[in-house]
């Protein structure tokens, strides 16, 4: 459900989208050219108008603006956790680097950072002039909240703190990178809105498993990026089929083809599928991403990287 733009008066000229779900109004506003004071005043006015509407008890405002020149951001998201989004992000970044691109990865999964483990590095970033210096791993550069806190410690952060941490990672020293892969947390909450508000991605990749439950949430992720005018580069189907290493028989514990069918229904590109693989899980747990080596998994991630880059650079 959308709010009537006319209720916002002259400010509606800057309103790009508005939606109301379960009492939460989400407003996306174009703020290019506004000073900090003007942005704050505009946000205050929009909040007041939205909160005055029936059935609205919370308002989220995302202020978007044209980015300064720098690396292009690719957001990798999912509607729910447990679909292998972080593993795909890490290997996609490495595969792009092996295709000759200068790539960085930001672990924006604030409450469950896993990129240091996936990339096999415990090195902590240094800071210079209050700017974080990414660490090197497998030919790419990395910044993660997981590098800044002690292992095993819970992060009990509210939305503004999580969004502030993301800003610090995005504003790290990425000066020589062409592309930044952003491994987002699951869902469509504050971190996603903060990224879109402050550092609009050049495109988004959605990861889902084939079963209906995951696809319901993947559709929400697609809807968020569409309503905030972030191009959808495509959908990846993960854990699609499993081949028994002993008998060679193939089964589909999570179903098959669901993500491809959903991509067609949503009119977004289908980038490809990855099988459920014990060797991929073992290599990831050991910090040896398959895309950094050779073999079928590396070839699969290379094909996905080529498909994403083709959509990014048509």
Assess contact for 237 and 272: CB atoms under 8 A: yes
What is the tally of helices (H) and strands (E) in the chain?
Answer: 9, 15
On whether 21 is known to bind a ligand per the annotation, the reply is no
Q: Is 258 marked as binding a ligand?
A: no
50/11 Cα distance (integer angstroms): 12
Is 83 annotated as belonging to a binding site? Answer: yes
CA 210 to chain CA mean position, Å: 19
Closest CA to 135 of 110, 71, 292, 126: 126
Question: Residue 208, annotated ligand binder?
Answer: no
CB neighbours (10 Å) of residue 54? 5
Angstrom distances, CA of residue 9 to CA of 32, 45, 218: 19, 10, 34
Q: Is 143 exposed, middle or buried (0-12, 13-18, 19+ CB in 10 A)?
A: buried
Distance CA 201, CA 226 (A): 12
Q: Is 82 annotated as a binding residue?
A: yes
The answer to the question of whether 80 is labelled as a binding residue is: yes
Which stretches does DSSP call E strand in the chain? 15-21, 24-30, 58-64, 72-77, 103-107, 126-128, 131-133, 135-137, 140-144, 179-183, 203-208, 232-237, 242-243, 250-251, 270-273
* 18 labelled binding-site residue: no
> What is d(CA 95, CA 212) in angstroms, rounded to the nearest whole number?
29
Q: What residues form the annotated binding site? A: 79-86
Q: What residues form the annotated binding site for ATP? A: 79-86
């Amino acid at each position: 459900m959308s709010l009537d733009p006319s209720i916002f008066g002259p400010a509606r000229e800057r309103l790009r989208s508005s939606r109301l779900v379960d009492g939460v109004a989400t407003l996306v506003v174009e703020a290019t050219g506004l000073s900090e004071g003007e942005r704050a005043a505009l946000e205050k006015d929009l909040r007041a108008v939205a909160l005055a509407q029936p059935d609205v008890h919370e308002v989220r405002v995302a202020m978007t603006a044209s980015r300064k020149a720098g690396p292009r951001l690719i957001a990798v998201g999912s509607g729910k956790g447990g679909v292998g989004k972080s593993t795909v992000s890490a290997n996609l970044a490495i595969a792009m680097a092996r295709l000759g691109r200068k790539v960085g990865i930001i672990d924006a999964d604030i409450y469950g950072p896993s990129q240091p483990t996936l990339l096999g590095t415990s090195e902590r970033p240094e800071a210079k002039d209050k700017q974080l210096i990414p660490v090197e791993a497998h030919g790419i550069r990395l910044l993660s909240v997981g590098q800044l806190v002690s292992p095993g410690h819970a992060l009990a952060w509210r939305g503004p703190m999580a969004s502030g941490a993301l800003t610090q990672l995005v504003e790290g020293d990425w000066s020589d990178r062409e592309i930044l892969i952003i491994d987002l947390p699951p869902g469509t909450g504050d971190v996603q809105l903060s990224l879109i508000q402050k550092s609009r991605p050049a495109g988004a990749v959605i990861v889902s498993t084939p079963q209906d439950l995951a696809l319901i949430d993947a559709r929400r992720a697609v809807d968020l990026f569409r309503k905030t005018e972030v191009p959808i580069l495509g959908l990846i189907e993960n854990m699609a089929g499993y081949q028994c290493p002993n008998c060679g028989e193939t089964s589909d514990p999570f179903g098959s083809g669901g993500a491809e069918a959903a991509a067609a229904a949503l009119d977004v590109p289908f980038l490809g599928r990855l099988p459920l693989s014990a060797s991929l899980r073992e290599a990831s747990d050991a910090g040896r991403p398959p895309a950094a080596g050779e073999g079928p998994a590396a070839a699969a991630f290379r094909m996905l990287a080529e498909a994403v880059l083709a959509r990014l650079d048509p």
